[in-house]
Amino acid sequence: MILLASNENPLGMPDSARRAAAEALAGAGNYPDSNGTALKNALAARLDVPADWLTLGSGSSEILELAAQVSLKPGEGVVYSQYGFIVYAQAAAHAHAHATVVPSRNFGHDLDAMRAAIGEDTKLVFVANPNNPTGTFIDATPLAAFLQSVPAHVTVLLDEAYTEYLSPAQRYDSIEWVRRLPNLIVARTFSKAFGLAGLRIGYGVSQPALTSRMNAQRPRFNVTTPAQAAAVAALGDADFLARTYELNTAGRDQLAAGFKELGLEYVPSSGNFLMVRVGDAQAVHARCWPPASRFRCSAPTACPNGCASASACRSRTARCWPRCADRGWALLLRSVRPVRSVPWPPRAPARCSARHSGAWAWSA
């Protein structure tokens, strides 16, 4: 089953990482390197930061949780945007903190409103760029100005899980911002573009005052030996990353063109997913459920109008569209020409998975 809602890489795991993980299994009888020395050294060289500026996590979600643990005391405040990643709310709840959810602007961050929402009790701010699940992007200039404006006693977690999907014109050097701002943590993952979602590995970059506190809270053996080895290999596999970027860009453009042809409103995305308005997303979900397709649903949040979304990765959209066309996805895709131009059928049956939220739904 293809879980479109998980935003996974349709290319799967890089062969280089697969070989490295397999070799690492020979030592699986021993505990992992709790410091992740080889991976930290590889990251330090790539990012041009000291190794002690790095924190490894079981996916970047653990970095978000660690940031909350070290920044918040019960009753203190955390600020994040409406339509933000679900882990922000979970991390706040786990820290027994008070969350201020700032209304979005065009399904993205309203940085002025977020800055105004920071109060005396605020100790943590989450910002995602690109945003998950809406795909919106914040240009470097306003983002840098916002980060500079946040009081020094407030930690900012900049969530860059989808940064590898940015176009060259969008890219910026957030690591340079970390060098200037001791209250900034940049979180990234190997789950998306690097294709290691099942191995659960991510990392945070921050100055030592924050890194030392997060590493003190981090479980000692939170990242397995195969995961560390695979991440080192994937980090050095430039060809795989380039293929991922090219495939995602083509698939995202394909979907956008199809939605435009259908006259469907969609949110321009900088991730590996698109969100599109369809009307009654609950009805789309119900019609797509049995039996050839399967949607995985998230808890509803307040979205103003109906929407569904589809993978930005061409190989997966091609496999899912025909199978779902007579069970609800026809609402989106009955006139999309690319469906007729891609190879079908796949080698194995494919089923769809997507998320819906109130009247908007999204998948990837």
Cis, peptide link before residue 291, omega less than 30° from 0: yes
d(CA 9, CA 1) in angstroms, rounded, equals 14
Quote the percentage of the chain above a pLDDT of 70. Answer: 77
What angle do helix axes 208-217 and 60-71 make, rounded to 10 degrees?
100
86, exposed or middle or buried, with CB in 10 Å at 0-12, 13-18, 19+? Answer: middle
Q: Is the pLDDT confidence value at 191 over 80?
A: yes
Kindly indicate the confidence band of residue 348, based on its pLDDT and cuts at 50, 70 and 90. Answer: very low
Q: Are the C-beta atoms of 199 and 226 separated by less than 8 Å?
A: yes
Catalogue all structural domains in the chain, each as residue range(s) with its CATH number. 14-235 (3.40.640.10), 239-363 (no CATH)
Q: Is the pLDDT confidence value at 39 over 50?
A: yes
pLDDT of 229: 98
Residues in the chain: 364
Q: Tell me the pLDDT of the chain averaged across its residues.
A: 84
More confident: 240 or 284:
240
d(CA 108, CA 31) in angstroms, rounded, equals 42
Kindly indicate the confidence band of residue 281, based on its pLDDT and cuts at 50, 70 and 90. Answer: confident
d(CA 250, CA 254) in angstroms, rounded, equals 6
Q: How many CB atoms lie within 10 A of CB 233?
A: 24
Residue 289, Ramachandran bin (φ over 0: left; ψ between -120 and 50: alpha; else beta)? alpha
| Low-confidence winner among 3-12, 131-140, 193-202, 256-265 (lowest mean pLDDT) | 3-12
Question: How confident is the model over 198-221, as pLDDT tens digits?
Answer: 999 999 999 999 999 999 999 999
Q: Are the C-beta atoms of 107 and 267 separated by less than 8 Å?
A: yes
Both tokens of residue 200? Answer: 């659960």
d(CA 321, CA 338) in angstroms, rounded, equals 10
Name the CA dihedral angle for 276, 278, 281, 287, rounded to a multiple of 10 degrees.
-120
List, as one string, the DSSP characters of 308-339.
EEEESSHHHHHHHHHHHTTTTTHHHHTT-THH
Element (DSSP H or E) covering residue 284 = helix 281-288
Q: How many CB atoms lie within 10 A of CB 334?
A: 12
